[in-house]
Each structure stands twice: as C-alpha cells, then as structure tokens.
Structure 1
Amino acid sequence: MESGQNSSEPDLLIHELTENWEKDLEQIQAYIETFDHTEVFIVSENSDPQVLIHALRVDGVKEFLPAPLDEAAINQALDRFLERQGKKQQKTTGHLGQIISLISSKGGVGTTTIAVNLADSLKRKPNGFTVALMDMNMVFGDIPMFLNISPKHHWGDITRNIDRLDEFYLSNVLTRTAGGLDVLASPGYLEKQANLPTPQVIITLLELMKKKYDYIVIDLGQSMNDSALQIIKMSNRVEIVTIQTLPCLSNASRVIKSLLENGYTDQANLYLILNRYIKKGIVNLQTVEQGLNQKISLLIPNDYSTTMSAINSGQTLQESAPKSSIARCYNDYADSLLPEGTEKRKKKGWFF
C-alpha cells in the first residue's frame, strides 16, 4: 500500500460493465475521486470502440478486458499491475530492494566491518527501513561474532530446502539482532556436503529478499564463484574495498577490470571504498584513482583501536563509540544511500 493511502482503500478494483455502461463509468469516476490510489480494470461484453474510449478516459482505469475473459490476457494485465505497484512502492520507500555487495580486494581489508556497520547504520535511521545482512564467506564468516549473535541457521539450510523457500521459511532461517537487523549467516565451516548455492538459488533467494527488505547488504569477501557473480549481477551497488597498499590496489584493479569487461556490473554501479585511510600514506588519493581509473566514493578513516574495541565486544561502532569520527563516517555513508527527500545529516563527512 502506498504512503498516505487509506487502509480501507484497495489497490485494485475489477468492475464489469452492465448494459448501462455510461452510468457505471460515472460511478467509477466518483469512486476514484475518493480513492485516488486504486487502479481499475474494466471487464465488458460490449466490444463497441466507443465503450473502450470512454472507459480509458476515466482516471484510474488501466486495463480494458473483453468478456469472456482470456486467461493469458488476465495474467498479462496482472503482471503489468504488479510492476506498476512495485514502482509506486519504490517511490514511497525509496530504494526498495536495493542490493549492496561489498567485495574484498584482499583478505583483511575490513570488508566485514564495513558491511556490518553499514547495515547497522541503515537500520538505525528513523525512517523504519527494513535491512538484511548476508554473509557469503563460506569458511571465514565472522558476522555473528561482530554482532554477538549465535545463529541456528545459515544459507546452507536454504540451499538444501530451496523448494520450501517462502517468506515464512526465510524468516525462520534469518537471525534478528536486538536492533532489528536480520542476518543470514554463512555455514562458517566447510561442510562435507557444502551445498553451495547455485546461481538459480541466488536468484530465487534475492528476489524474495528484495520484496521483503529495503536494503540487502552482502559481504562477499573475496568470493568469485558462480553464486557470487550472480549476486554481483543483481546488485544495485558493487563496492570494492581496498586500502593504501600496492598489493591491495593491484588486486582491486584486477577485480574492477574483470567485473566490467565480463559484464557482471557496469561503471554506474561500481564504487570504490578506501578503508583505513591515512592522509599522509605512502600511496596518495590521486595515485589510487589514477592507478585504478576509478573515483573513490568513500574514505573511511584509520581508527584501528576504536574499530577493534567494537569487534571484540560484539558491538557495532554506533553502539560502542557513537560519537567517534569513524561512527559518524558510517552514519554519513548510510545517509548517502537514502532516498531523495529523506532527512539526512548535513555534514558531508568523508564522501567525495
């Protein structure tokens, strides 16, 4: 239901015209003036072109279906209706179903830290956004430790039971934190029968999650298998995480080149995060951008002690050090992803 819509107002009204079709259309017009968010489908046995013309002139009438009804035509009309509803919902909630994937240029660059704190910062916004955090690190999935949770399930359960997957089953597999963040953990160890998700499983899972969540933040780590590549294809934002060292920058260059040249994402959806930024580092910002041929979208300051304190206590930075510069950086990062018109912090922070 769209924001501002009366709870008693239907999304769709299907009306079959009688012989007195002009009177029917007048009544429909009066109804639409009261419930202006409702779409109307007209069903009519009268195939006179004048009936069609007059019907489609009524505000809110989106489909004219001749009787007797054809099943294929009904399905096509409903598909168009659902697409329009999805666009309305997207305008209302902003970035409904936005997938944000974070990729490590090298192990230990802080991708999980960024994923956890971004998801937490988004969830803390006063707009009531729904946020899910997904861990695709097969063996080294540390998200539960970062959030001090003990998941009973992980995405391996979905892979094994993909035929059962619906919103109810998904809710049971996810683990909710005290702050309302829903976490889809990884197995965290190498199973004898790993049941790695196939690209089709990923499609099924993420399409369902997009309907349920405003934001889905995914920690891909260094994964570049078929399932990870499918996630990248479906992502609205692909964030490459690197630091100011030549090995990491070299790896980041290869990742960017591979993703772009093979069509897994495009330049408009690709972003570069420079983590643990040191202003007087050996490799400066200009060198980074020129070497990678990629603008830096976010600088995260180097605050190792504050970050490690949060990790070791199983807390996010917003919980353990909300007034720190690095916590404010994540808050600004989340602000940059909010829909237009959403109240945001005025400070630009570390964004370029």
Structure 2
Amino acid sequence: MNKSVSNFKSHAVMLVSDNEAITQMVSEVFPAERNNTVTENGTSFQALNGTALELAFKHDLVIFEIDPDDASEVQAIKEVLGHRKDDTVFVALTQNDVSITKARALLKIGVDEVLPLSIDQESLQAAVSEKITARAVPQTQFHEGGRALGKVIPVAKTRGGAGASTVAVNLACALVGGKGSMFRKVAKSRVALLDLDIQFGNSNVFLDIEDNGGFLQLIENAELPDDHFLSSILQQHDLGLDVLCAPSPMVPLQSLRSDLIEGMLDLLQRRYDYIVIDLPCAIVDWVEPIFKRAAQLALVTDTTVPCVRQARRLIDFYREANVGLPVEVIVNRERNSLIRPPHVREAEKVLDTKFKHWIPDNPKVARNAVDLGRPVTDMKPQSDLGKALKKLAADLSAEEQTAATKNI
C-alpha cells in the first residue's frame, strides 16, 4: 500500500529516549540538511525535573519512549499535555505487545499517536506526517462545546453479495435513534452514511434515493472539498441520516485519492457522531486513512471456509493501518445456536474471536425492504431481521462507549 508522506522541512523535534536505534531513525526521518533540528532531552519526562513543559512546547513534535505501566511517567506526560495550547504533536513509542486498553489510555490523556518500538522508518514517517497535517488543519467546531470527533465505522465484506450494504444502511439508520417513548425523549445522533463502493454501490437503493451526481463532482474536482461543497452533495433522508451515494456512472476504483478521503473525514468527524462507510470488496490504497481513523470495523461474512479465510486476511491487512482496530465480525444469514457446530468453532478459532453478532436469514423481509426502498429497521422493526439489526447497532454503540469509559 502506497503511503503519502509529507516533505519534512524546518521541524523542531524533541526526542525523549535513550534508545540509539530510535535516535538514529528519527534523525533520518528529520534530516538536518532539510533544516530540521532533533534535540535529545533526557530519558523520561520525570528526569526533566520540571522543565518538560517549557521544553515540549518549543517543538513541533515530541517523540518519547514510554512504558504504559509506569504510572509516574504517564502522570508526568499527562500534566504536560494538560497545558497544551498549540499544535505540538506528541508521539509515544512503546512495547510491541502493548494491549489495546493501555494504548487507548495514552490516547485518552492527549497523546496523538501510539506506535510500536519496532516501527520502521517509512511507517514512522507516514504516521508522523499524518498527525502533523491533522494538527495543522484549522479546527472548525461543528460540534457544540468540547464534544469528541465522530466515530468512523467502516463496513467491509468477505465477498460480494455478503449483505454488507444491508448491514451498513440499517446500522446507520439504527444509530440515529431518537424514538424513545411518550414519557422520555431520546436525543438523535448525527449520522452520515458514505457509499464508497464506487463501482457497485447500491446503498441508495435501500433508501429510495437517486444519485444527485455529487460524488462524481467530488472525484473530478482536483481540490479538496470544503464544508459548503460537502454539505451540498450529501442527501438528507427523512429517517434522520445524511447520505453520500455511490456514483451512477462506472468509475475506476483508483478515481478516489487518499487526500480526498482524509479531507472528507476531517469535515465529517467534526459534524457527525457516527460516519458509517460501506466499503468496496477490493483492496485499494485510499482505504488506509479510513482505517487509521476507524473506531471499529464491522466485517460481514458467513462461516464458509473461503469467507473465513478471507476474513482473516482482511483483519490482518486492515490492522496494518490501525494496530489496535477493534473488529466486530458479523455473521450474516445465519442464526446463532446454543451448541456451536464444529465449523463455527473452527471459524472462531481461525479469527481468534467469539462470534457475538448474528443476522438471521429472512429473504422475504429483506426483499420487501429493498423493493420498497425502506430499511428493515424502519419497515419491519419487530421482525427477527429487524431486531437483529437494531441489536447490532446497540451493541456496537455500547462497545465503543465501554471502550472509551475504560480509558478514562
């Protein structure tokens, strides 16, 4: 996968580590001949004895080595980050086998990126480039107050026809929520659905929406979209979500660019609570920014041997972009059973997970929903299929919130 890396010029880098290999790699990523300066300031933030705050914010980038189990060092970093007012980027290097929970705890206190100590030069350069660019983007606040950026949930499939579009559309609709009861009002979430299966996407059919040509304009426009343009091509659905339809004309998969995806997500994450993305079956380089930002991956599959093998490959591939990516495997058109058949147990073993999300096969309800252009969760919410899809949305939302709470 090609990585888009910025040209590092005139950056001041503070390195907090006594690892010679890391020092050498950072010096190569930020060469002095391009007017970069790399200064080594001690082996830990605690060792800086009160000067950490003053030193850190004189630099564009702070790269430091840390053991997440060192509570005193974590606290020292937290105190520094608590005073951050500028665009200084903080990158932590830690053990290769650090748990997802511990990595997220570092992100929670304000660290911009957590990377393994074994990272190579190219990967470090790409990761740092992305963070420097992101911090430099003007932070237009569409969310009120200090609300967090919206959660990106890509929906991938192990094969064509796996039912990923059905899952993506109904997941997006269910995440809107807001129905409550006559005694209790429930706030609606702001949800965007992006159909990035640009050659064969048909999410709009499930919602009875015609392509307005906006996506094609987006692809043909050489410039990155601004908020006004993006607002003009998103189509509002009466169920409360905004939709970007796949283009009606056939376009090459490489029509999209990584910087275009990043630009869209920069804007959308500030406006929406959830961004659900229906992905193509193919592997293309522009999906990398999606997975770097993803809160979760919803992977739709069945339990046949070819699909389970493909699921394993996809999980490994996408985790190259986001090491700690939580993957929710969704078994479609199959019912859960109290006693797991041997092939299901074997599939769980191969994917190293216990299947929690099962979508039953109900072709009659599914067909009627498509024919009428209405999501199952709206047309037949009390059917077995409707209940399963609503439960999936509730589970994914709860799991994401639980993960965030654990890191407080």
In the alignment, what sits opposite 2:388? 329
- State the SS of the aligned residue for 2:189: coil
3-state SS, counterpart of residue 294 of structure 1: coil
Are 2:318 and 1:265 aligned? Answer: no
> Could you say which residue in structure 2 is the equivalent of 1:45?
none
SS at match of 1:139: coil
Residue in structure 2 matched with residue 299 of structure 1 by the alignment: 358
Mapped pair 1:253 → 2:312: yes
Distance in 2 between the 1:194 and 1:285 partners? 34
Bigger CA radius of gyration = 1
- Give the AA of the match of 2:311: A
Letter of the structure 2 residue corresponding to residue 90 of structure 1: R
Q: Is the 8 A contact 1:199 1:226 kept in 2?
A: yes
Q: What CA distance in whole angstroms lies between the structure 2 residues aligned with 1:86 and 1:181?
A: 16
Distance 1:172 1:84 in 2: 19
Q: Give the corresponding residue for 2:160.
A: 107
Q: Which residue is equivalent to 2:188? A: 128
Alignment of 1:132-151 (within 5 A): 132-151=192-211
Q: What's the CA shift for 1:100?
A: 0.2
Instruction: After TM superposition, give the deviation of residue 229 of structure 1 in Å.
Output: 2.6
Match of 2:151 in 1: 98
* Letter matched to residue 294 of structure 1: T
Q: 1:44-84 deviations in whole A, cap 9, x for unaligned?
A: xxxxxxxxxxxxxxxxxx989xxxxxxxx9777x98x9699
Structure 1 distance, partners of 2:363, 2:290, is 30
Aligned partner of residue 296 in structure 1, secondary structure: coil
Out of 261, 266, 282, which is 1:202 matched to?
A: 261
Amino acid at match of 1:127: A
Q: What is the alpha-carbon distance in structure 2 between the residues aligned to residue 169 and residue 251 of structure 1? A: 37
Provide the TM-score with structure 2 as the length reference.
0.58
After superposition, residues 212-223 of structure 1 pair within 5 angstroms as 212-223=271-282
Q: Report the AA paired with residue 329 of structure 2.
A: L
Q: CA offset at residue 258 of structure 1?
A: 2.4
Equivalent of residue 290 in structure 1, options 329, 342, 349: 349
Contact 1:156 1:196 in 2 (8 A): no
Query: Contact 1:277/1:300 (CA < 8 Å) preserved in 2?
Result: yes
**1:226-265 C-alpha deviation (Å, 9 max, x unpaired):** 11233222211112110122221121122122233xx222
Contact 1:135 1:184 in 2 (8 A): yes
Deviations 1:200-247 (A, max 9, x none): 111111111101111000000313101123322221111211012222
Report which stretch shifted further, 265-274 or 136-145: 265-274
1:274 deviation in Å?
0.9
The answer for the alignment partner of 2:287 in structure 1 is 228
Alignment partners' CA distance in 2, 1:283 and 1:229: 35
* Distance in 2 (alpha carbons) for counterparts of 1:241 and 1:97: 22
Deviation at 1:152, TM superposition (A): 0.8
The Cα shift of 1:296 comes to 2.3
Distance 1:101 1:235 in 2: 7
Distance 1:293 1:162, change over 3 A: same
- Residue 271 of structure 1: how far off its partner (Å): 2.0
Indicate conservation of the 8 Å contact 2:224/2:263, yes or no.
Answer: no
- In structure 2, give the amino acid aligned to 1:265: N
Which consecutive unaligned segments of at least 5 residues does structure 2 have? 1-81, 89-134, 179-185, 402-408
TM-score normalized by the length of structure 1: 0.66
Q: Which residue of 2 aligns with 1:156?
A: 216
On the 8 A contact 1:245/1:283 being kept in 2, the answer is no
- Identity, % of aligned positions: 27
Residue 292 and residue 190 in structure 1: after superposition, are their counterparts in 2 closer, same or farther (change >3 A)? Answer: same
**Counterpart AA for 1:182:** D
Cα root mean square deviation, aligned: 3.4
Q: Residue 198 of structure 2 contacts residue 280 of structure 2 at CA under 8 Å; is this kept in 1? A: no
- The alignment partner of 2:246 has SS state of coil
Q: 1:164 to 1:136 in 2, by over 3 A?
A: closer
Q: Residues 295 and 325 of structure 2 are in contact (CA less than 8 Å); yes or no, is this contact kept in structure 1?
A: no
List aligned pairs for 1:11-50, cutoff 5 A.
Answer: none
Secondary structure at 2:291 match in 1: helix
Task: Return the offset for 1:127.
Answer: 1.8
CA distance in structure 2 between the aligned counterparts of 1:152 and 1:82, rounded to whole angstroms: 29
Q: Does 1:185 align with 2:242?
A: no
CA distance in 2 between partners of 1:84 and 1:180 (Å):
21
Tell me the CA shift for residue 307 of structure 1. 1.3
CA distance in 2, matches of 1:97, 1:265: 17
**C-alpha separation between the residues in 2 aligned to 1:167 and 1:88?**
19
Q: Distance in 1 between matches of 2:227 and 2:210?
A: 21
The unaligned stretches of length 5 or more in structure 1 are 1-61, 65-72, 343-352
* Contact 2:211–2:246 under 8 Å retained in 1: no
Q: Is the 8 A contact 2:211 2:247 kept in 1?
A: no
CA distance, structure 1, for counterparts of residue 383 and residue 316 of structure 2:
35
Q: Which amino acid letter does the alignment assign opposite residue 255 of structure 1?
A: L
Q: Residue 109 of structure 1: SS of its match in structure 2? A: coil
Tell me, in whole angstroms, the C-alpha distance in 2 between the residues paired with 1:254 and 1:195.
22
Q: Tell me the number of residue pairs that the alignment of Structure 1 and Structure 2 aligns.
A: 265
